[in-house]
Structure 1
């Protein structure tokens, strides 16, 4: 993974295109490329069979948000911490974690001005 100065994004946010997202993922999270490719194939198949671009739009939005979070190391650590707590905490902790995860995702969607969720 590329390193960045304290609190600074690793890379600029790429355009919300398959090629740009793939290129940045190769830099900051190469282990995710197989999942990216598998999910892209699934979205393309769904779009083709349904004659609807919505699956591809969802795919791009999902991965743009992922990149938005992962390119900011402090935010990525916070996000994973909340995910872990949602999975391992008691009911109260899981609710709090779910709220925080939702907040982070909502902020990412707003920052990217992507398609509505």
Structure 2
């Protein structure tokens, strides 16, 4: 069996700005918006208290990866299935699922670094 053509993403990868990422999250994973807002508030507070932009950079990097994964329905569905295994599987299943989750995250980060916005 040969693989079909690569899956087309639902949306283009947005630039790693708060506004663009919020719009993307609202479009592809609207249920994640409360977490996005909560984490943004925490990052902004940490940045202000520490006079350091690192928390905001970590925030945008995290959510850029989220969008990179979830804009591709097949990858998003696989990640959800693996997360279920991590929560309910036996030790060996959890180990294999966690390794695959790591690969998905690594591939998303690599794709972002190849195509910076």
Q: TM-score, normalised by structure 2?
A: 0.88
Q: Root-mean-square deviation (CA), in Å?
A: 1.4
Deviations 1:66-113 (A, max 9, x none): 001110000000011111111111011111111000000011111101
Per-residue deviation, 1:35: 1.2
Cα distance in 2 for residues equivalent to 1:50 and 1:111: 31
The answer to whether residue 52 in structure 2 is matched with residue 52 in structure 1 is yes
What corresponds to 1:11 in structure 2?
11
Aligned residues: 109
Q: Give the 3-state SS of the residue equivalent to 1:14 in structure 2.
A: coil
What corresponds to 2:81 in structure 1?
81
Q: TM-score, normalised by structure 1?
A: 0.88
Where do residues 62-81 of structure 1 align in structure 2 (5 Å cutoff)?
A: 62-81=62-81
Cα distance in 2 for residues equivalent to 1:79 and 1:53: 30
Cα distance in 1 for residues equivalent to 2:14 and 2:83: 25
The answer to whether residue 27 in structure 2 is matched with residue 24 in structure 1 is no
Runs of 4+ displaced beyond 6 Å? none
Unaligned runs of 5+ in 2: 1-5
Higher relative contact order (CA 8 A, sep 6+): 2
Cα distance in 2 for residues equivalent to 1:86 and 1:24: 27
Cα distance in 1 for residues equivalent to 2:32 and 2:54: 22
Per-residue deviation, 1:21: 0.5
